[in-house]
Structure 1
Amino acid sequence: MNQGLAALLRQIGDTRLPPVDKWNPPHCGDSEMRIAADGTWFHQGTPIRRPEMVRLFSRILRREADGGYVLVTPVEKLDILVEDAPFVAVAVESEREGRDRRLGFRLNTGDAVIAGPENALRIEDGEAGPRPYVHVRAGLDALVARAPYYELVAWALEEEGDPPGLWSGGVFFPLGAM
């Protein structure tokens, strides 16, 4: 097994997220936080420089039924502005080929996700070209950064599929825009 993917799988196994989907506290206002399109987290207009703080906040992030985002604890719920996707997939690891392939993504928060039935990879048309995303959890997506996207494209071209795409976790993901 690829050491990078093995490390991602261990990391996923070690991840215990709080049960934010079960918490329903009263709405308390605006957190004065935003996540920029490049994945940078801000509070009151100032970038949050401590990765540990970003990771902590990312674990209590939830997508609401109306499409908005909140930071939620057992006792309060605060709005947070998300410009594009709340996470960025900054690296990708691949194991095997063809239908047996598994793709693991490392996120800017230090978390990881394996593309498959629960974590779909999709491409959307953007003004500046394709915008690849991978589903992370409960309505939260990660924008796939340029370098890992180019790796995905290179692997897809090597496999010469029609349409170009990749398998991961038993699911075929076309790399064309939807």
Structure 2
Amino acid sequence: MADEQIHQTGDAAGLAALISRAAGQTNGQTKGLPPVDKWNPPFCGDIDMEIRADGTWFYMGTPIGRQPLVRLFSTVLRKDEDGRTYLVTPVEKVGIRIVDAPFVAVEMNLTENDGEPVITFRTNVGDVVEAGPEHGLRFVIEGENRELKPYLHVRGRLEALVSRAVMYDLVELGETRTIDSVEMFAIRSGGVLFPVMLARELEALSA
């Protein structure tokens, strides 16, 4: 029945109402994000929803323009061990497509805590995340142009791609440190040192 309901839903607003109604079956006293990691509903198939590399959500080929809808969907996202990302409620689980990462970090703020730098990010769906022991940063260099792509752990197995504009500000905070006897370019936040690349690669990447 859940599968039929999902596939009969003709627009994003209808789908959002279905998700909201299902999520409402949880304890009314629950605060914050829904406990999607604790839910084990049946898989009800894939739906025509995609998150593009720039963070834009599409449903049935059309951008979802209403940010409250996008925020609602984002709160019930879960990436499972199979590497796929799903919308999950207490009663159903449906697959969606992710081009790169489900979220994009669009804003960054630097503060200090006991003399240690703390980098806080805001995502395109409103999550505020401090890079540190519980929310790591990882860096990928890919493509013929050797593009640097930082990713921030948000929750579960979900990550945010740090936007290009924010990435430039983030790299400005880097420093050269010796890690396991190797000179590395790295970024510190929340008491953790996150390696970016070999120090000798930085000049080549910046050229």
Scaled by the length of structure 1, the TM-score of the pair is: 0.85
Bigger radius of gyration, 1 or 2? Answer: 2
Work out whether residues 98 and 166 of structure 1, in 8 Å CA contact, stay in contact via their aligned partners in 2.
Answer: no
Please list every run of 5 or more consecutive structure 1 residues that lacks an aligned counterpart in the other structure: 1-14
Q: How does 1:142-157 map to 2 (within 5 A)?
A: 142-156=160-174
Which amino acid in structure 2 is aligned with residue 115 of structure 1? A
Query: Is 1:48 paired with 2:64?
Result: yes
Query: Is 1:20 paired with 2:41?
Result: no
Q: 1:84 to 1:66 in 2, by over 3 A?
A: same
What is residue 114 of structure 1 aligned with on the other side? Answer: 130
Query: Is 1:90 paired with 2:111?
Result: no
Shift of 1:175: 2.4
What is the rounded CA distance, in whole Å, between the counterparts of 1:64 and 1:96 in structure 2?
34
What is the rounded CA distance, in whole Å, between the counterparts of 2:97 and 2:58 in structure 1?
10
Q: 1:97 to 1:76 in 2, by over 3 A?
A: closer
Work out whether residues 98 and 167 of structure 1, in 8 Å CA contact, stay in contact via their aligned partners in 2.
Answer: no
Shift of 1:98: 10
Percent of residue pairs identical = 52
Q: Which residue, 118, 121, 124 being the options, matches 1:105?
A: 121
Q: How does 1:75-86 map to 2 (within 5 A)?
A: 75-86=91-102
Deviations 1:146-176 (A, max 9, x none): 11111111122xx554522221111001222
Shift of 1:109: 0.4
Higher RCO (Cα < 8 Å, 6 or more apart): 1
Task: Count residues in correspondence.
Answer: 161
What is residue 167 of structure 1 aligned with on the other side? Answer: 188
What is residue 14 of structure 2 aligned with on the other side? Answer: none
Scaled by the length of structure 2, the TM-score of the pair is: 0.73
SS state at 1:62 partner: strand
Please list every run of 5 or more consecutive structure 2 residues that lacks an aligned counterpart in the other structure: 1-30, 178-182, 199-207
